[in-house]
A and B are shown apart, each in its own frame.
Chain A
Protein backbone atom coordinates (compact mmCIF):
# COMPACT_ATOMS: atom_id res chain seq x y z
CA UNK A 1 0.00 0.00 0.00
CA UNK A 2 2.63 2.48 1.10
CA UNK A 3 4.80 1.31 -1.73
CA UNK A 4 1.97 1.96 -4.11
CA UNK A 5 1.44 5.50 -2.89
CA UNK A 6 5.16 6.14 -3.04
CA UNK A 7 5.38 4.87 -6.60
CA UNK A 8 2.35 6.79 -7.82
CA UNK A 9 3.39 10.09 -6.28
CA UNK A 10 7.16 10.03 -6.41
CA UNK A 11 7.49 8.65 -9.91
CA UNK A 12 5.27 11.14 -11.73
CA UNK A 13 6.90 13.94 -9.76
CA UNK A 14 10.45 12.93 -10.57
CA UNK A 15 9.59 11.95 -14.11
CA UNK A 16 7.83 15.22 -14.87
CA UNK A 17 10.61 17.31 -13.41
CA UNK A 18 13.18 15.28 -15.32
CA UNK A 19 11.26 15.83 -18.53
CA UNK A 20 10.89 19.60 -18.16
CA UNK A 21 14.62 19.82 -17.45
CA UNK A 22 15.17 18.67 -21.04
CA UNK A 23 13.36 21.81 -22.23
CA UNK A 24 15.41 24.11 -20.02
CA UNK A 25 12.55 25.16 -17.77
CA UNK A 26 13.92 27.46 -15.02
CA UNK A 27 14.54 25.82 -11.66
CA UNK A 28 11.93 27.89 -9.81
CA UNK A 29 9.13 26.09 -11.67
CA UNK A 30 10.27 22.52 -10.93
CA UNK A 31 8.05 21.94 -7.91
CA UNK A 32 4.88 23.26 -9.53
CA UNK A 33 5.64 21.24 -12.66
CA UNK A 34 6.09 18.14 -10.56
CA UNK A 35 2.80 18.72 -8.76
CA UNK A 36 1.00 19.20 -12.07
CA UNK A 37 2.47 15.90 -13.22
CA UNK A 38 1.29 14.14 -10.06
CA UNK A 39 -2.22 15.52 -10.44
CA UNK A 40 -2.41 14.44 -14.07
CA UNK A 41 -1.21 10.95 -13.24
CA UNK A 42 -3.44 10.43 -10.18
CA UNK A 43 -6.57 11.59 -12.00
CA UNK A 44 -5.66 9.32 -14.90
CA UNK A 45 -5.11 6.42 -12.54
CA UNK A 46 -8.39 6.96 -10.76
CA UNK A 47 -10.39 7.50 -13.94
CA UNK A 48 -8.90 4.57 -15.84
CA UNK A 49 -10.49 2.15 -13.33
CA UNK A 50 -13.91 2.52 -14.91
CA UNK A 51 -13.24 4.24 -18.22
CA UNK A 52 -11.28 3.75 -21.40
CA UNK A 53 -7.78 5.18 -21.30
CA UNK A 54 -8.69 7.84 -23.86
CA UNK A 55 -11.48 9.23 -21.68
CA UNK A 56 -9.30 8.94 -18.60
CA UNK A 57 -6.55 10.90 -20.37
CA UNK A 58 -9.06 13.52 -21.39
CA UNK A 59 -10.23 13.99 -17.80
CA UNK A 60 -6.73 13.96 -16.40
CA UNK A 61 -5.53 16.53 -18.90
CA UNK A 62 -8.54 18.76 -18.20
CA UNK A 63 -7.84 18.82 -14.49
CA UNK A 64 -4.09 19.24 -14.92
CA UNK A 65 -4.42 21.98 -17.52
CA UNK A 66 -6.86 23.84 -15.30
CA UNK A 67 -4.25 23.70 -12.57
CA UNK A 68 -1.62 24.79 -15.10
CA UNK A 69 -3.54 27.89 -15.99
CA UNK A 70 -3.95 28.87 -12.39
CA UNK A 71 -0.25 28.31 -11.81
CA UNK A 72 0.67 30.27 -14.93
CA UNK A 73 -1.34 33.28 -13.79
CA UNK A 74 -0.08 32.97 -10.26
CA UNK A 75 3.59 32.62 -11.18
CA UNK A 76 3.34 34.97 -14.15
CA UNK A 77 5.00 32.74 -16.67
CA UNK A 78 4.16 31.12 -20.01
CA UNK A 79 1.67 28.32 -19.57
CA UNK A 80 3.66 26.07 -21.92
CA UNK A 81 5.89 25.18 -19.01
CA UNK A 82 3.04 23.63 -17.05
CA UNK A 83 1.26 22.18 -20.08
CA UNK A 84 4.36 20.11 -20.72
CA UNK A 85 4.17 18.79 -17.20
CA UNK A 86 0.45 18.09 -17.55
CA UNK A 87 0.72 15.92 -20.66
CA UNK A 88 3.95 14.04 -20.17
CA UNK A 89 2.63 11.36 -17.79
CA UNK A 90 -0.16 10.62 -20.27
CA UNK A 91 1.62 10.64 -23.63
CA UNK A 92 1.16 7.18 -25.15
CA UNK A 93 4.86 6.36 -25.47
CA UNK A 94 4.18 2.68 -24.86
CA UNK A 95 1.57 2.71 -27.63
CA UNK A 96 4.27 3.57 -30.16
CA UNK A 97 6.36 0.62 -29.11
CA UNK A 98 3.53 -1.91 -29.18
CA UNK A 99 2.26 -0.67 -32.52
CA UNK A 100 5.69 -1.02 -34.05
CA UNK A 101 6.21 -4.39 -32.41
CA UNK A 102 2.94 -5.92 -33.61
CA UNK A 103 3.44 -4.47 -37.07
CA UNK A 104 6.80 -6.11 -37.58
CA UNK A 105 5.70 -9.39 -36.03
CA UNK A 106 2.81 -9.45 -38.49
CA UNK A 107 0.01 -9.27 -35.90
CA UNK A 108 -1.81 -6.61 -37.84
CA UNK A 109 -5.11 -6.54 -35.97
CA UNK A 110 -3.29 -6.09 -32.66
CA UNK A 111 -1.12 -3.41 -34.22
CA UNK A 112 -4.19 -1.55 -35.45
CA UNK A 113 -5.80 -1.85 -32.04
CA UNK A 114 -2.76 -0.44 -30.26
CA UNK A 115 -2.23 2.26 -32.86
CA UNK A 116 -5.81 3.46 -32.71
CA UNK A 117 -5.67 3.36 -28.92
CA UNK A 118 -2.61 5.64 -28.98
CA UNK A 119 -4.30 8.01 -31.41
CA UNK A 120 -7.40 8.10 -29.23
CA UNK A 121 -5.35 9.00 -26.18
CA UNK A 122 -3.60 11.72 -28.17
CA UNK A 123 -7.02 13.06 -29.18
CA UNK A 124 -8.17 12.98 -25.56
CA UNK A 125 -5.15 15.09 -24.64
CA UNK A 126 -5.73 17.51 -27.52
CA UNK A 127 -9.40 18.04 -26.69
CA UNK A 128 -8.66 18.34 -22.97
CA UNK A 129 -6.11 21.08 -23.53
CA UNK A 130 -8.18 22.89 -26.16
CA UNK A 131 -11.17 22.98 -23.82
CA UNK A 132 -9.42 24.61 -20.91
CA UNK A 133 -7.20 26.85 -23.01
CA UNK A 134 -10.28 28.40 -24.60
CA UNK A 135 -11.61 29.75 -21.30
CA UNK A 136 -10.96 33.51 -21.26
CA UNK A 137 -7.94 34.38 -19.18
CA UNK A 138 -9.68 36.82 -16.84
CA UNK A 139 -11.35 33.88 -15.09
CA UNK A 140 -7.98 32.80 -13.75
CA UNK A 141 -7.09 36.12 -12.18
CA UNK A 142 -7.98 36.54 -8.55
CA UNK A 143 -9.21 40.10 -8.84
CA UNK A 144 -11.76 39.03 -11.46
CA UNK A 145 -13.55 37.08 -8.73
CA UNK A 146 -13.05 39.81 -6.18
CA UNK A 147 -14.40 42.33 -8.65
CA UNK A 148 -17.29 40.04 -9.45
CA UNK A 149 -18.25 39.86 -5.83
CA UNK A 150 -18.08 43.62 -5.58
CA UNK A 151 -20.16 44.07 -8.74
CA UNK A 152 -22.69 41.60 -7.41
CA UNK A 153 -22.94 43.40 -4.11
CA UNK A 154 -23.48 46.67 -5.94
CA UNK A 155 -26.20 45.06 -8.00
CA UNK A 156 -27.92 43.76 -4.86
CA UNK A 157 -27.76 47.16 -3.29
CA UNK A 158 -29.42 48.88 -6.23
Chain B
Protein backbone atom coordinates (compact mmCIF):
# COMPACT_ATOMS: atom_id res chain seq x y z
CA UNK B 1 0.00 0.00 0.00
CA UNK B 2 1.54 3.31 -1.00
CA UNK B 3 0.47 6.90 -1.57
CA UNK B 4 1.92 8.92 -4.43
CA UNK B 5 1.42 12.48 -5.51
CA UNK B 6 0.42 12.71 -9.16
CA UNK B 7 1.54 15.73 -11.18
CA UNK B 8 0.88 14.68 -14.75
CA UNK B 9 -2.21 13.41 -16.56
CA UNK B 10 -4.45 14.16 -13.62
CA UNK B 11 -7.46 13.69 -15.89
CA UNK B 12 -6.83 9.94 -15.87
CA UNK B 13 -8.33 9.73 -12.41
CA UNK B 14 -11.55 11.52 -13.35
CA UNK B 15 -13.67 8.36 -13.05
CA UNK B 16 -12.91 8.06 -9.36
CA UNK B 17 -13.07 11.79 -8.69
CA UNK B 18 -16.58 11.86 -10.14
CA UNK B 19 -17.71 9.51 -7.38
CA UNK B 20 -17.31 12.30 -4.85
CA UNK B 21 -18.19 15.28 -7.05
CA UNK B 22 -20.64 14.52 -9.87
CA UNK B 23 -19.99 17.50 -12.12
CA UNK B 24 -16.87 17.41 -14.27
CA UNK B 25 -16.38 21.17 -14.77
CA UNK B 26 -16.53 21.65 -10.97
CA UNK B 27 -13.69 19.16 -10.63
CA UNK B 28 -11.66 20.84 -13.31
CA UNK B 29 -11.85 24.09 -11.38
CA UNK B 30 -9.56 22.73 -8.68
CA UNK B 31 -7.84 19.75 -10.26
CA UNK B 32 -5.25 21.76 -12.17
CA UNK B 33 -3.99 23.81 -9.17
CA UNK B 34 -4.66 21.20 -6.52
CA UNK B 35 -2.40 18.39 -5.36
CA UNK B 36 -3.63 14.98 -6.38
CA UNK B 37 -2.79 11.99 -4.19
CA UNK B 38 -3.37 8.40 -5.16
CA UNK B 39 -3.36 5.42 -2.84
CA UNK B 40 -2.55 2.22 -4.66
CA UNK B 41 -1.75 -1.36 -3.86
CA UNK B 42 -0.05 -3.73 -6.30
CA UNK B 43 -0.99 -1.41 -9.16
CA UNK B 44 -4.69 -1.16 -8.24
CA UNK B 45 -5.91 2.34 -7.47
CA UNK B 46 -7.96 2.39 -4.29
CA UNK B 47 -8.39 5.98 -3.21
CA UNK B 48 -7.82 9.39 -4.77
CA UNK B 49 -7.74 12.75 -3.05
CA UNK B 50 -7.32 16.38 -4.14
CA UNK B 51 -6.15 19.14 -1.84
CA UNK B 52 -6.02 22.80 -2.80
CA UNK B 53 -3.60 24.92 -0.79
CA UNK B 54 -4.01 28.67 -0.23
CA UNK B 55 -1.82 31.03 1.77
CA UNK B 56 -2.07 29.62 5.28
CA UNK B 57 -4.79 27.06 4.90
CA UNK B 58 -5.60 24.21 2.62
CA UNK B 59 -8.82 22.58 1.60
CA UNK B 60 -9.62 18.95 0.97
CA UNK B 61 -11.56 19.26 -2.27
CA UNK B 62 -12.26 15.71 -3.20
CA UNK B 63 -11.74 12.26 -1.75
CA UNK B 64 -13.10 9.07 -3.21
CA UNK B 65 -12.49 5.36 -2.81
CA UNK B 66 -13.27 2.87 -5.55
CA UNK B 67 -16.57 1.18 -4.74
CA UNK B 68 -15.29 -2.32 -4.15
CA UNK B 69 -12.76 -1.04 -1.61
CA UNK B 70 -15.08 1.18 0.38
CA UNK B 71 -15.54 0.75 4.12
CA UNK B 72 -12.08 -0.66 4.67
CA UNK B 73 -10.44 2.42 6.16
CA UNK B 74 -8.54 3.51 3.06
CA UNK B 75 -10.26 6.90 3.05
CA UNK B 76 -9.39 7.55 6.66
CA UNK B 77 -5.82 6.53 5.99
CA UNK B 78 -5.68 8.96 3.10
CA UNK B 79 -7.09 11.84 5.17
CA UNK B 80 -4.53 11.17 7.87
CA UNK B 81 -1.78 11.08 5.28
CA UNK B 82 -2.68 14.41 3.64
CA UNK B 83 -3.16 16.09 7.02
CA UNK B 84 0.34 15.03 8.01
CA UNK B 85 1.65 15.95 4.59
CA UNK B 86 0.57 19.59 4.98
CA UNK B 87 1.45 19.84 8.65
CA UNK B 88 4.11 22.45 9.26
CA UNK B 89 3.35 24.46 6.15
CA UNK B 90 -0.32 25.19 6.71
CA UNK B 91 -2.32 25.86 9.84
CA UNK B 92 -5.77 24.58 8.97
CA UNK B 93 -7.28 21.95 6.74
CA UNK B 94 -10.82 22.67 5.54
CA UNK B 95 -13.27 20.33 3.96
CA UNK B 96 -16.64 21.22 2.49
CA UNK B 97 -19.43 18.70 2.22
CA UNK B 98 -23.15 18.35 1.84
CA UNK B 99 -25.48 17.81 4.75
CA UNK B 100 -25.14 14.06 4.83
CA UNK B 101 -24.87 12.22 8.12
CA UNK B 102 -22.49 9.59 6.75
CA UNK B 103 -19.89 11.96 5.32
CA UNK B 104 -20.05 14.31 8.29
CA UNK B 105 -19.48 11.40 10.65
CA UNK B 106 -16.57 10.26 8.53
CA UNK B 107 -14.80 13.61 8.73
CA UNK B 108 -15.53 13.98 12.43
CA UNK B 109 -13.94 10.61 13.05
CA UNK B 110 -10.88 11.98 11.25
CA UNK B 111 -10.68 14.85 13.73
CA UNK B 112 -12.55 17.61 11.86
CA UNK B 113 -14.81 20.12 13.63
CA UNK B 114 -17.66 22.31 12.40
CA UNK B 115 -16.52 25.58 10.88
CA UNK B 116 -19.06 27.48 8.82
CA UNK B 117 -21.82 27.06 6.24
CA UNK B 118 -22.09 28.39 2.69
CA UNK B 119 -25.80 28.63 1.90
CA UNK B 120 -27.26 27.21 -1.29
CA UNK B 121 -23.83 26.21 -2.60
CA UNK B 122 -25.03 23.05 -4.28
CA UNK B 123 -28.15 24.49 -5.83
CA UNK B 124 -26.26 27.53 -7.13
CA UNK B 125 -23.24 25.76 -8.57
CA UNK B 126 -24.54 22.45 -9.84
CA UNK B 127 -26.85 22.09 -12.81
CA UNK B 128 -28.50 18.91 -11.57
CA UNK B 129 -29.84 18.51 -8.04
CA UNK B 130 -27.70 16.12 -5.97
CA UNK B 131 -29.33 13.63 -3.70
CA UNK B 132 -27.42 11.81 -1.04
CA UNK B 133 -29.16 9.17 1.08
CA UNK B 134 -32.42 10.46 -0.37
CA UNK B 135 -31.81 14.03 0.83
CA UNK B 136 -31.41 17.00 -1.48
CA UNK B 137 -28.11 18.78 -0.87
CA UNK B 138 -28.35 22.54 -0.65
CA UNK B 139 -25.92 24.17 1.78
CA UNK B 140 -22.22 23.39 1.89
CA UNK B 141 -21.04 22.60 5.41
CA UNK B 142 -17.42 23.44 6.10
CA UNK B 143 -15.40 21.52 8.63
CA UNK B 144 -11.90 22.32 9.76
CA UNK B 145 -9.00 20.56 11.38
CA UNK B 146 -6.09 22.27 13.03
CA UNK B 147 -2.84 20.92 11.68
CA UNK B 148 -0.33 20.33 14.45
CA UNK B 149 2.60 22.64 14.64
CA UNK B 150 5.74 21.37 13.03
CA UNK B 151 7.30 18.28 14.48
CA UNK B 152 10.51 19.11 16.24
CA UNK B 153 13.58 18.07 14.26
CA UNK B 154 15.36 17.15 17.48
CA UNK B 155 12.65 14.75 18.47
CA UNK B 156 12.69 13.08 15.06
CA UNK B 157 16.46 12.70 15.21
CA UNK B 158 16.21 11.27 18.71
CA UNK B 159 13.63 8.74 17.58
CA UNK B 160 15.53 7.71 14.47
CA UNK B 161 18.80 7.42 16.38
CA UNK B 162 17.18 5.38 19.13
CA UNK B 163 15.75 2.96 16.57
CA UNK B 164 19.14 2.75 14.88
CA UNK B 165 20.93 2.15 18.16
CA UNK B 166 18.62 -0.70 19.14
CA UNK B 167 19.06 -2.30 15.71
CA UNK B 168 22.84 -2.03 15.76
CA UNK B 169 23.10 -3.29 19.31
CA UNK B 170 21.03 -6.38 18.66
CA UNK B 171 22.65 -7.49 15.45
CA UNK B 172 21.29 -5.39 12.59
CA UNK B 173 23.38 -4.76 9.50
CA UNK B 174 24.80 -1.29 8.81
CA UNK B 175 22.60 -0.93 5.77
CA UNK B 176 19.46 -1.74 7.77
CA UNK B 177 20.37 0.79 10.45
CA UNK B 178 20.90 3.58 7.92
CA UNK B 179 17.80 2.70 5.94
CA UNK B 180 15.64 2.68 9.05
CA UNK B 181 16.96 6.07 10.16
CA UNK B 182 16.33 7.52 6.71
CA UNK B 183 12.81 6.14 6.53
CA UNK B 184 11.88 7.57 9.91
CA UNK B 185 13.32 11.00 9.09
CA UNK B 186 11.63 11.18 5.72
CA UNK B 187 8.33 10.17 7.23
CA UNK B 188 8.43 13.13 9.64
CA UNK B 189 9.58 15.54 6.93
CA UNK B 190 13.15 15.92 8.07
CA UNK B 191 14.81 15.84 4.69
CA UNK B 192 18.35 17.08 5.25
CA UNK B 193 19.89 14.13 7.00
CA UNK B 194 23.40 12.73 6.96
CA UNK B 195 24.19 9.44 8.66
CA UNK B 196 27.45 7.67 9.18
CA UNK B 197 27.24 4.28 10.81
CA UNK B 198 30.05 2.09 12.06
CA UNK B 199 29.86 -1.23 13.79
CA UNK B 200 30.24 0.57 17.15
CA UNK B 201 28.55 3.89 16.67
CA UNK B 202 26.13 6.08 14.78
CA UNK B 203 26.83 9.68 13.78
CA UNK B 204 23.87 11.66 12.61
CA UNK B 205 23.17 15.23 11.69
CA UNK B 206 19.94 16.86 10.51
CA UNK B 207 19.03 20.33 9.41
CA UNK B 208 15.70 22.04 9.92
CA UNK B 209 14.17 24.53 7.52
CA UNK B 210 15.91 27.53 9.04
CA UNK B 211 19.27 25.83 8.46
CA UNK B 212 20.03 25.01 12.09
CA UNK B 213 21.85 21.72 12.30
CA UNK B 214 21.31 19.21 15.06
CA UNK B 215 23.94 16.56 15.49
CA UNK B 216 24.08 13.52 17.70
CA UNK B 217 26.57 10.73 18.16
CA UNK B 218 25.79 7.43 19.78
CA UNK B 219 28.32 4.89 20.92
CA UNK B 220 26.93 1.38 20.62
CA UNK B 221 29.10 -1.14 22.43
CA UNK B 222 29.05 -4.70 21.13
CA UNK B 223 26.75 -6.87 23.16
CA UNK B 224 24.44 -9.83 22.87
CA UNK B 225 22.44 -10.50 19.75
CA UNK B 226 18.67 -10.53 19.86
CA UNK B 227 17.22 -11.00 16.39
CA UNK B 228 13.69 -10.90 17.76
CA UNK B 229 14.25 -7.24 18.64
CA UNK B 230 15.73 -6.56 15.19
CA UNK B 231 12.64 -8.07 13.58
CA UNK B 232 10.32 -6.00 15.78
CA UNK B 233 12.12 -2.70 15.10
CA UNK B 234 12.05 -3.55 11.41
CA UNK B 235 8.30 -4.06 11.60
CA UNK B 236 7.86 -0.82 13.55
CA UNK B 237 9.89 1.12 10.99
CA UNK B 238 7.68 -0.28 8.26
CA UNK B 239 4.60 0.91 10.13
CA UNK B 240 6.12 4.32 10.79
CA UNK B 241 6.94 4.96 7.16
CA UNK B 242 3.46 3.83 6.14
CA UNK B 243 2.14 6.58 8.40
CA UNK B 244 0.37 4.27 10.84
CA UNK B 245 2.39 5.22 13.91
CA UNK B 246 2.90 8.73 15.30
CA UNK B 247 6.07 9.96 16.92
CA UNK B 248 5.01 9.57 20.56
CA UNK B 249 3.64 6.11 20.00
CA UNK B 250 6.87 5.18 18.22
CA UNK B 251 8.95 6.17 21.26
CA UNK B 252 6.75 4.06 23.52
CA UNK B 253 6.89 1.10 21.17
CA UNK B 254 10.68 1.28 20.96
CA UNK B 255 10.98 1.32 24.71
CA UNK B 256 8.73 -1.70 24.94
CA UNK B 257 10.59 -3.58 22.20
CA UNK B 258 13.89 -3.10 23.94
CA UNK B 259 12.51 -4.77 27.04
CA UNK B 260 11.75 -7.92 25.07
CA UNK B 261 13.30 -10.73 27.10
CA UNK B 262 15.75 -13.27 25.74
CA UNK B 263 14.59 -16.87 25.47
CA UNK B 264 14.41 -18.58 28.83
CA UNK B 265 17.80 -19.84 29.91
CA UNK B 266 16.96 -23.51 30.35
CA UNK B 267 15.42 -23.45 26.87
CA UNK B 268 18.60 -21.93 25.45
CA UNK B 269 20.72 -24.55 27.22
CA UNK B 270 18.62 -27.39 25.84
CA UNK B 271 18.76 -25.81 22.39
CA UNK B 272 22.55 -25.61 22.57
CA UNK B 273 22.66 -29.28 23.55
CA UNK B 274 20.28 -30.30 20.78
CA UNK B 275 22.29 -28.37 18.25
CA UNK B 276 25.50 -30.01 19.38
CA UNK B 277 23.86 -33.43 19.23
CA UNK B 278 22.43 -33.06 15.73
CA UNK B 279 25.57 -31.56 14.25
CA UNK B 280 27.65 -34.28 15.84
CA UNK B 281 25.48 -36.80 14.02
CA UNK B 282 25.76 -34.89 10.75
CA UNK B 283 29.53 -34.87 11.15
CA UNK B 284 29.44 -38.68 11.32
CA UNK B 285 29.84 -39.19 15.05
CA UNK B 286 28.32 -42.29 16.59
CA UNK B 287 25.16 -42.07 18.65
CA UNK B 288 27.06 -42.45 21.91
CA UNK B 289 29.49 -39.70 20.97
CA UNK B 290 26.63 -37.45 19.97
CA UNK B 291 24.97 -37.96 23.35
CA UNK B 292 28.18 -36.83 24.99
CA UNK B 293 28.18 -33.85 22.63
CA UNK B 294 24.66 -33.01 23.84
CA UNK B 295 25.84 -32.84 27.45
CA UNK B 296 28.98 -30.89 26.56
CA UNK B 297 26.94 -28.46 24.44
CA UNK B 298 24.62 -27.79 27.37
CA UNK B 299 27.53 -27.21 29.72
CA UNK B 300 29.24 -24.90 27.23
CA UNK B 301 26.14 -22.76 26.97
CA UNK B 302 25.77 -22.62 30.75
CA UNK B 303 29.33 -21.30 30.79
CA UNK B 304 28.47 -18.72 28.09
CA UNK B 305 25.47 -17.51 30.08
CA UNK B 306 27.50 -17.34 33.27
CA UNK B 307 30.28 -15.44 31.54
CA UNK B 308 27.80 -12.96 30.13
CA UNK B 309 26.49 -12.28 33.61
CA UNK B 310 30.04 -11.72 34.87
CA UNK B 311 30.88 -9.53 31.86
CA UNK B 312 33.83 -11.61 30.75
CA UNK B 313 35.47 -10.64 27.48
CA UNK B 314 35.07 -12.69 24.33
CA UNK B 315 38.63 -13.92 24.54
CA UNK B 316 38.04 -15.55 27.90
CA UNK B 317 34.61 -16.90 27.02
CA UNK B 318 35.80 -18.68 23.90
CA UNK B 319 39.21 -19.88 25.05
CA UNK B 320 37.75 -21.27 28.26
CA UNK B 321 34.86 -22.66 26.21
CA UNK B 322 37.34 -24.57 24.07
CA UNK B 323 39.15 -25.77 27.19
CA UNK B 324 35.92 -26.93 28.83
CA UNK B 325 34.71 -28.93 25.85
CA UNK B 326 38.05 -30.63 25.32
CA UNK B 327 38.58 -31.36 28.99
CA UNK B 328 35.10 -32.83 29.34
CA UNK B 329 35.59 -35.00 26.27
CA UNK B 330 38.92 -36.27 27.60
CA UNK B 331 37.31 -36.96 30.96
CA UNK B 332 34.54 -39.00 29.35
CA UNK B 333 37.08 -40.85 27.28
CA UNK B 334 38.91 -41.95 30.41
CA UNK B 335 35.88 -42.70 32.50
CA UNK B 336 34.44 -44.83 29.78
CA UNK B 337 37.65 -46.77 29.44
CA UNK B 338 38.13 -48.82 26.34
CA UNK B 339 34.80 -48.65 24.43
CA UNK B 340 35.09 -47.03 20.98
CA UNK B 341 34.56 -43.34 21.80
CA UNK B 342 36.62 -40.92 19.74
CA UNK B 343 37.70 -37.54 21.00
CA UNK B 344 36.90 -35.73 17.75
CA UNK B 345 33.44 -37.30 17.60
CA UNK B 346 32.56 -35.72 20.92
CA UNK B 347 34.18 -32.33 20.34
CA UNK B 348 33.31 -31.34 16.76
CA UNK B 349 29.56 -31.19 17.42
CA UNK B 350 29.82 -29.34 20.70
CA UNK B 351 31.65 -26.40 19.13
CA UNK B 352 28.33 -25.28 17.68
CA UNK B 353 27.01 -23.10 20.53
CA UNK B 354 30.15 -20.96 20.32
CA UNK B 355 30.01 -20.29 16.57
CA UNK B 356 29.52 -16.53 16.01
CA UNK B 357 26.87 -16.86 13.31
CA UNK B 358 25.41 -13.35 13.38
CA UNK B 359 28.78 -11.60 13.42
CA UNK B 360 29.89 -13.72 10.47
CA UNK B 361 26.74 -13.21 8.43
CA UNK B 362 26.59 -9.49 9.13
CA UNK B 363 30.25 -9.10 8.24
CA UNK B 364 29.58 -10.66 4.84
CA UNK B 365 26.52 -8.51 4.28
CA UNK B 366 28.32 -5.32 5.24
CA UNK B 367 31.17 -6.13 2.90
CA UNK B 368 28.73 -6.99 0.11
CA UNK B 369 27.07 -3.61 0.69
CA UNK B 370 30.50 -1.93 0.50
CA UNK B 371 30.47 -0.99 4.19
CA UNK B 372 34.04 -2.22 4.33
CA UNK B 373 35.03 -0.60 7.60
CA UNK B 374 32.29 -2.22 9.65
CA UNK B 375 32.44 -5.41 7.62
CA UNK B 376 36.13 -5.86 8.34
CA UNK B 377 35.68 -5.18 12.04
CA UNK B 378 32.89 -7.71 12.30
CA UNK B 379 34.73 -10.26 10.19
CA UNK B 380 37.77 -10.04 12.45
CA UNK B 381 35.45 -10.30 15.41
CA UNK B 382 33.98 -13.51 13.98
CA UNK B 383 37.24 -15.05 12.81
CA UNK B 384 38.96 -14.37 16.13
CA UNK B 385 36.27 -16.38 17.87
CA UNK B 386 37.29 -19.38 15.76
CA UNK B 387 40.93 -18.72 16.65
CA UNK B 388 40.12 -18.47 20.35
CA UNK B 389 38.24 -21.76 20.27
CA UNK B 390 41.15 -23.39 18.47
CA UNK B 391 43.55 -22.03 21.10
CA UNK B 392 41.36 -23.42 23.88
CA UNK B 393 41.02 -26.83 22.26
CA UNK B 394 44.67 -26.95 21.18
CA UNK B 395 46.18 -25.98 24.51
CA UNK B 396 44.09 -28.52 26.37
CA UNK B 397 45.05 -31.26 23.94
CA UNK B 398 48.71 -30.25 24.23
CA UNK B 399 48.52 -30.39 28.00
CA UNK B 400 46.85 -33.79 27.83
CA UNK B 401 49.52 -35.14 25.48
CA UNK B 402 52.37 -33.85 27.62
CA UNK B 403 53.85 -36.01 30.38
CA UNK B 404 52.27 -33.90 33.14
CA UNK B 405 48.83 -34.27 31.59
CA UNK B 406 49.24 -38.00 31.56
CA UNK B 407 50.10 -37.93 35.26
CA UNK B 408 47.06 -35.88 36.20
CA UNK B 409 44.69 -38.38 34.71
B355: chain A residues within 8 A (beta carbon):
19, 88, 91, 93
Asked if residues B357 and A91 are in contact (CB atoms below 8 Å), the reply is yes
Asked if residues A24 and B279 are in contact (CB atoms below 8 Å), the reply is no
Q: How far is the CA of A118 from the CA of B125 in the complex (A)?
A: 81
A14 at interface, CB cutoff 8 A: yes
Whole-angstrom distance between the Cβ of B346 and the nearest chain A Cβ? 10
State the main secondary structure of chain B at its contact with A: helix
- With A19-B275, A76-B238, A133-B368 already in contact, the answer to whether A98 and B282 are too (CB < 8 A) is no
A-B contact count (CB 8 A): 170
Asked if residues A93 and B368 are in contact (CB atoms below 8 Å), the reply is no
Asked if residues B358 and A7 are in contact (CB atoms below 8 Å), the reply is no
A66 at interface, CB cutoff 8 A: no
A77 at interface, CB cutoff 8 A: yes
B272 at interface, CB cutoff 8 A: yes
B343: chain A residues within 8 A (beta carbon):
101
A83 at interface, CB cutoff 8 A: yes
Q: How far is the CA of A78 from the CA of B171 in the complex (A)?
A: 10
B205: chain A residues within 8 A (beta carbon):
none
Q: How far is the CA of A88 from the CA of B389 in the complex (A)?
A: 17
B183: chain A residues within 8 A (beta carbon):
none
- With A11-B281, A12-B278, A15-B275 already in contact, the answer to whether A101 and B394 are too (CB < 8 A) is yes
Whole-angstrom distance between the Cβ of A16 and the nearest chain B Cβ? 8
A143 at interface, CB cutoff 8 A: yes
Asked if residues A78 and B176 are in contact (CB atoms below 8 Å), the reply is yes
- With A24-B227, A78-B172, A104-B398 already in contact, the answer to whether A150 and B43 are too (CB < 8 A) is yes
Asked if residues B42 and A146 are in contact (CB atoms below 8 Å), the reply is yes
B172: chain A residues within 8 A (beta carbon):
78, 80
A23: chain B residues within 8 A (beta carbon):
171, 225-227, 357-358
A99 at interface, CB cutoff 8 A: yes
Residues of B that sit less than 8 Å from A by CB: 42-43, 171-173, 176, 225-231, 234-235, 238, 262-263, 267-268, 271-275, 277-279, 281-283, 301, 322, 343-344, 347-349, 351-353, 355, 357-358, 360-362, 364-365, 367-369, 386, 389-391, 393-395, 397-398, 401
- The 10 lowest CB-CB distance pairs between A and B, nearest first, are A15-B278, A18-B275, A100-B394, A21-B271, A94-B348, A104-B398, A18-B274, A93-B351, A11-B278, A18-B271
Which of the residues B43, B357, B397 comes within 8 Å of A87, measured between beta carbons?
B357
Residues of A that sit less than 8 Å from B by CB: 7-8, 10-12, 14-15, 17-26, 29, 41, 76-78, 80-81, 83-84, 87-89, 91, 93-94, 96-101, 103-105, 125-126, 129-130, 133-134, 143, 146-147, 150
Q: How far is the CA of A130 from the CA of B235 in the complex (A)?
A: 25
Asked if residues A97 and B351 are in contact (CB atoms below 8 Å), the reply is yes
B230: chain A residues within 8 A (beta carbon):
78, 80
Asked if residues A94 and B171 are in contact (CB atoms below 8 Å), the reply is no
Given contacts A12-B278, A78-B176, A88-B357, 16 further A-B contacts (CB under 8 A): A11-B278, A15-B278, A15-B352, A18-B273, A18-B278, A25-B231, A87-B360, A93-B349, A94-B351, A96-B386, A97-B347, A97-B351, A101-B394, A130-B364, A133-B365, A133-B369
State the main secondary structure of chain A at its contact with B: helix
Asked if residues A99 and B390 are in contact (CB atoms below 8 Å), the reply is yes
Asked if residues B352 and A78 are in contact (CB atoms below 8 Å), the reply is no
A77: chain B residues within 8 A (beta carbon):
231, 234-235
Whole-angstrom distance between the Cβ of A18 and the nearest chain B Cβ? 4
B277: chain A residues within 8 A (beta carbon):
15
Which of the residues A14, A26, A101 comes within 8 Å of B393, measured between beta carbons?
A101
Asked if residues B227 and A101 are in contact (CB atoms below 8 Å), the reply is no
Asked if residues A147 and B352 are in contact (CB atoms below 8 Å), the reply is no
Asked if residues B267 and A21 are in contact (CB atoms below 8 Å), the reply is yes
